[in-house]
Chains A and B, each alone.
Chain A
Amino acid sequence: MGDWMTVTDPGLSSESKNISQYTSETKMSPSSLYLQKVLCSSIPLSKNVHSFFSAFCTEENIEQSVSYLDQELTTFGFPSLYEESKGKETKRELNIVAVLNCMNELLIRQRKNLLAQENVETQNLKLGSDMDHLQSCYAKLKEQLETSRREMIGLQERDRQLQCKNRNLHQLLKNEKDEVQKLQNIIASRATQYNHDMKRKEREYNKLKERLHQLVMNKKDKRIAMEVLNYVGRADGKRGSWRTDKSEARNEDEMYKILLNDYEYRQKQILMENAELKKVLQQMKKEMISLLSPQKQKPIEKADDSTGTGISDVEEDPGELSRESIWDLSCETVREQLTNSIRKQWRILKSHVEKLDNQVSKVHLEGFNDEDVISRQDHEEETEKLELEIQQCKEMIKTQQQLLQQQLATTCDDDTTSLLQDCYLLEEKERLKEEWSLFKEQKKNFEKERRSFTEAAIRLGLERKAFEEERASWLKQQFLNMTTFDHQNSENVRLFSAFSGSSDRDNLTVHSRPRQKPYRVSNGSPICTSKLTKSLPASPSTSDFCQTRSCVSEHSSISVLNMTPEETSPNQVGGECANQKWSMASRPASQDGCCSECSWTSTNSHVEKDGLP
């Protein structure tokens, strides 16, 4: 790689250099160009320009020089410097225009030549630098080639050395193997030698032993004896038996009995173990069947390969299971069947499990690949949404709490707060309840009264208006009667009357119904008031009653408004409503048509109150 870099780099740099050269040339100002030209051209010429000119043409040889120049120029294809003479004998005149044209032409050519020369020179320079660069490149490459060649030689050398080593090692290994073989042979030979020696020695030893035996044992050694005070009885109480064939046979029998017992015992154990294992197998099989059969239904639809065998197996099994007693026979065919079916089941289970595994892994992979990303985004969005919701809810709760607190703060009535707080004793509660019901009744009555009052006020207002109109009409008539009027005045009056009349008509139409009510109300109201006075003697409304009645005619709307807060005060919401009504009613208070609105509000409030406890 390094070599490549070194090769390519200079080229690039040279190119860039060239480019820079070009640019510098192009950038050169005309003056400098001119200078350069002058320099280039003048260096060889400037020294002897004058001398040359002086040498060429003098005062005397103008004619000749002109003719010479003419000749020269004509040979170069220029037009003749002389004017074309008509007669041959006449001396030809020097044509100044032609001379000048020639000179100009010559100068232009000179300049062209200079330019061309310059171009050639720069190109020459360029080529020279290129050449240098290429030469350096060549040198470098040569060097590289040399180094790589050297490396190659080194590697070859190493390879050779390694091969040599390898050969040596092989040789060593071979030697070692040989040695091992040799040693093994030695060991074997030594072993045989040893065994042989041993045998020889042992034989000798045996001979000696034999000899010793003969010497020691055969010689009736008196010392070899047992002294016993008296012989003791056998542990089992039996007497010693003679060695006979019978006893031998008995011993054999006993031995075989013992062996048989042992084998029987072992067989029993193995049978037990077998039975246990069989039980386990059967149970396993049952469980497998129960586990696999419901799952089989699905794969059947999917047309799985393994299901075919599975179905047949499942079909087989109930029959086999019903023949459970066969297991106990443990005959080979049954065993085979059992093992085969278990194997089948096991294979199915295995494939199933593998499938599941694959599915799981697939799901895992998929989940990791793309689904997870999306779900994560979804998840994040969802969580954001939820968080926003939670915040909103929190704010709501906060505002609600604030409102509640405000309401609590605004309530000045002790009864309600106490009721709310529920800190009274039972008796007090009872009492309060009674009072509450009473209060409610009163409220109702008040409501009624108020309605009647409002109606009465409306009626009074109407009556008053009618009376005022009457009065006006009467005054008008009187005035008309008293004085004569001009047209304008009459018009004004008519306008006025028309206005009043129209308003009157409107009022009449709107309050046509309430007009009939006052009679009824007035009839019923005394009962109400009497009731009220009885139950609540200190109630301010009764005392106000007269006042309101008296001032209804003047300020009907105010009287209504005065009453509403009093009525609604026991209840907070009612109070609120009252406040609202106040603000609503206060605006049209001065207007005449307010009464209808007031009545409406009052009824409205009543409806609201009914909904409350």
Chain B
Amino acid sequence: MYFSEVFKLSSQLCKFSPDGKYLASCAQYRLVVREVRSLQILQLFTCLDQVQHLEWSADSLFILCAMYKRGLVQVWSLEQPEWHCRIDEGSAGLVASCWSPDGRHILNTTEFHLRITVWSLCTKSVSYIKYPKACQQGISFSRDGRYLALAERRDCKDYVSIFVCSDWQLLRHFDTDTQDLAGIEWAPNGCVLAAWDTCLEYKVLLYSLDGRQLAAYCAYEWSLGVKSVAWSPSSQFLAVGSYDGKVRILNHVTWKMLTEFGHPAAISDPRVVVYKEAEKSARAALGRPACPSFRAAESKYEIATVPVSLQTLKPAADRANPKIGVGLLAFSPDSYFLATRNDNVPNAVWVWDMQKLRLFVVLEQLGPVRSFQWDPQRPRLAICSGGSKVYLWSPAGCVSVQVPGEGDFQVLSLCWCVTGASLALLSKDHFCLCFLETEDKADGAIGQLGAHT
């Protein structure tokens, strides 16, 4: 494992290109594009203001930089550095901007969700979509890029519109049986759309591409409901995390619950491996005198003997968005594992075995888990908890790695390169790359990279 040097960054804007070759990062108003393997700067673009949003087009040819404050979007081309495009939303304002899957259209959401403007880079045509709903996840493109599902609100009723992305034609428009639709998401196969209600009510609805309602699922009533939803990459499972601290797995045939995963603070199943992060003693650091003394203590994982009780957080009941329930959910790319975080046990990551449908591993960190992400290629989970360490878990075991460099590098977020060979670690105003050895890559290249660190 090698680490790159630390680069400047603002607003945690750092993205790998979808083909995994380039890395775009923003420092204030500057956009820097680097090659992932050598980290050499390929292009340097200067935007009109501090960039608030950064997005690669699906074909890795264009980069979108949004400056919400000024209602501006600037698009840069990697192939033609001199090419430029500027979209001004004017007085309507701008709150969100994203690429369409074809990489030739930009969807801008105006302030107050008045409308969505679809700008084309190919033609002069501009499309408007009225009544978009302001919600958690109101826009969802199908994986193959053919369809766009959009949550809408008209006359106090929720609707979903399905558009064909190639010509922005409305394909289906149907109302959903929800109080206040909170989110929609396509299944990876693009044939089923999951829609869930606001947190006040537990309701998950499943719609076919042609607008038929396939199923509705409600686990309980009179309590806070769905908090997070995730499809398995195989489209076989729909994991629904809720405020009662449980994940319910729905199957794709009957859309009934297969099983529910509770997240108790006490783990007593002897088959479950509990990795507990523990601070390494100072003696272990003596072997490396180059280590600056002020660096935070290194840590390692210890296998705790069950039964184990995890640290829990008492949520404030009188405040909105209480820290309870399963807030993070992610399936491994092979659908074999599901990683979850229960928000009132903030230090722990649960990894569930989806073949046996049972808890597999629990990782208890020293700090609260900020985010985790699966390696896109293999069942390998990267976790960060706001400290100077990055944690990696795979079925073989887990490691805690100290991020080298001067000062305290607090990893707030991370993202994987699509190849799985590198991992970007983002702190408040810096980022660095972490290269992982892979069997298929030549050692020489990595060795050279290692020299950079």
Interface residues in chain A, defined as those with a beta carbon under 8 Å from any beta carbon in chain B: 187, 195, 198-199, 202-203, 206, 209, 212-213, 216-217, 221-236, 240-241, 243, 247-248, 251-252, 254-256, 258-259, 262
- B59 is an interface residue with CB less than 8 A from chain A: yes
With A226-B86, A234-B122 as contacts: A259 and B104 at CB distance below 8 Å: no
Q: Are B156 and A199 in contact (CB under 8 A)?
A: yes
Kindly provide the distance from the CB of A211 to the nearest chain B CB, expressed in whole angstroms: 11
Chain A residues in 8 Å Cβ range of B83: 229-230, 232
Question: CB-nearest residue of chain B relative to A230?
Answer: B83
In the complex, A240 Cα to B125 Cα: how many Å?
10
Contacts of A251 in B (CB 8 A): 164, 167, 169, 171
**A223 lies within 8 A of B102 (CB):** no
Bits for B108-121, please: 1 = Cβ < 8 Å to A, else 0. Answer: 00001011000111
A226 and B171 form a contact (CB under 8 A): no
Q: List 13 A-B contacts (CB under 8 A).
A: A209-B112, A221-B91, A225-B90, A226-B86, A227-B84, A227-B85, A229-B83, A234-B122, A235-B103, A235-B104, A256-B210, A259-B208, A262-B189
Please list the residues of chain B having a beta carbon within 8 angstroms of any beta carbon in chain A: 59, 77, 82-92, 102-104, 112, 114-115, 119-126, 146, 153, 155-156, 164, 166-167, 169, 171, 179, 189-191, 208-210, 222
Let me know if A229 and B190 touch, CB within 8 A.
Answer: no
Candidates B122, B166, B191; contact of A233 at CB < 8 Å: B122
User: Are B112's CB and A212's CB within 8 A?
Assistant: yes
The 10 closest A-B pairs by CB, nearest first: A223-B90, A224-B90, A262-B191, A221-B90, A227-B86, A228-B85, A199-B156, A226-B87, A251-B164, A229-B83
Nearest to B163 among chain A residues (CB) is A251
Contact B86 A247 (CB under 8 A): no
Q: Contact check, B169 vs A248: say whether CB atoms are below 8 A apart.
A: yes
Q: Max chain A CB contacts within 10 Å: which of B82, B126, B167? A: B167
B62: nearest residue on chain A (CB-CB)? A232
Partner of A212, one of B114, B164, B189, B208: B114
> Which single member of A213, A241, A259 contacts B191 (CB below 8 Å)?
A259
Please determine whether A232 and B104 come into contact, CB atoms closer than 8 angstroms.
Answer: yes
Smallest Cβ distance from A576 to chain B, in angstroms?
77
List chain A residues, Cβ under 8 A from B86: 226-228
| Contact indicator B92/A228 (Cβ below 8 Å) | no
Q: Which residues does chain B contribute within 8 Å of A240, judged by CB atoms? A: 120, 122-123, 125, 167
> A224 contacts which chain B residues (CB < 8 A)?
88-92
In the bound complex, do residue B209 and residue A255 qualify as a contact, i.e. CB atoms below 8 Å apart?
A: yes
A243 with B167: CB separation less than 8 A = yes
Report the separation of the CA atoms of residues A224 and B179 in the bound assembly, to the nearest whole angstrom: 35
Question: B114, B121, B169, B171: which contacts A228 (Cβ < 8 A)?
Answer: B121
Task: Determine the distance from Cα of A583 to Cα of B222 in the docked complex, in whole angstroms.
Answer: 119
Q: Are B82 and A229 in contact (CB under 8 A)?
A: yes
Residues of A within 8 A of B77 (CB): 232
Known: A216-B114, A243-B167. A235 touches B102 (CB 8 A): yes
User: A221-B90, A227-B85, A255-B210 given as contacts; is B156 within 8 A of A203 (CB)?
Assistant: yes
Alpha-carbon gap, A202 to B180, bound state (A): 12
| A residues less than 8 Å from B92 (CB atoms) | 216-217, 221, 224
| Chain B residues positioned under 8 Å from A235 (CB to CB) | 59, 102-104
CA distance A234 to B57 in the complex (A): 13
Per the bound structure, the CA–CA distance linking A213 and B87 in Å amounts to 19
Contacts A216-B114, A255-B210 given; does A225 touch B88 at CB 8 Å = yes
Find out whether the CB atom of A234 lies under 8 angstroms from the CB atom of B102.
yes
- A213-B115, A230-B83 are known contacts. Are A252 and B121 too (CB-CB below 8 A)? no
Residues on the B chain within 8 Å of A234, using CB: 102, 104, 122
Name the B residues within 8 Å of A217 (CB-CB): 92, 114-115
A258 B123 Cβ-Cβ under 8 A: no
Kindly provide the distance from the CB of A315 to the nearest chain B CB, expressed in whole angstroms.
Answer: 38
Nearest CB in chain A to that of B83: its residue: A229
- A241 and B167 form a contact (CB under 8 A): yes
The chain A residue sitting closest to B72, CB to CB, is: A223
Q: Which residues of B contact A228 (CB under 8 A)?
A: 84-86, 121
| Max chain B C-beta neighbours (<10 A), residue from A216, A226, A235 | A226
Chain B contacts of A255 at CB under 8 A?
Answer: 171, 209-210
- Cα(A240)–Cα(B121), bound, Å: 11
Chain B residues whose CB sits within 8 angstroms of the CB of A248 once the complex forms: 169
Task: Contact check, B209 vs A258: say whether CB atoms are below 8 A apart.
Answer: yes
Chain A proximity of B57: nearest CB distance (Å) = 9
Q: Knowing A228-B121, A248-B169 touch, does A202 contact B156 (C-beta < 8 A)?
A: yes
Query: Which residues on A sit within 8 Å (CB–CB) of B209?
Result: 255, 258-259
Q: How distant is B45 from chain A, measured CB to nearest CB, in Å?
A: 13
Expressed in whole angstroms, the minimum distance between the Cβ of A247 and any Cβ of chain B is: 6
| Most A CB within 10 A of own CB, among B103, B123, B166 | B166
B197 to chain A, nearest CB (A): 13
| B155 → A minimal CB distance (Å) | 8
Which of chain A's residues have a CB closer than 8 A to the CB of B156? 198-199, 202-203
A185 to chain B, nearest CB (A): 13
> Whole-angstrom distance between the alpha carbons of A164 and B103 in the complex?
79
Looking at the assembled complex, report how far the CB atom of A600 sits from the nearest CB atom of chain B, in whole angstroms: 91
Q: How far is the CA of A224 from the CA of B125 in the complex (A)?
A: 13
The contact of B119 among A206, A221, A226, A247, by CB within 8 Å, is A226
**Extra inter-chain contacts (17) besides given A227-B84, A231-B122, CB under 8 Å:** A212-B112, A213-B115, A223-B89, A224-B89, A225-B90, A226-B88, A226-B119, A228-B84, A235-B103, A235-B104, A240-B167, A247-B169, A251-B164, A254-B164, A258-B146, A259-B209, A262-B189
Q: Which residues of B contact A259 (CB under 8 A)?
A: 191, 208-210
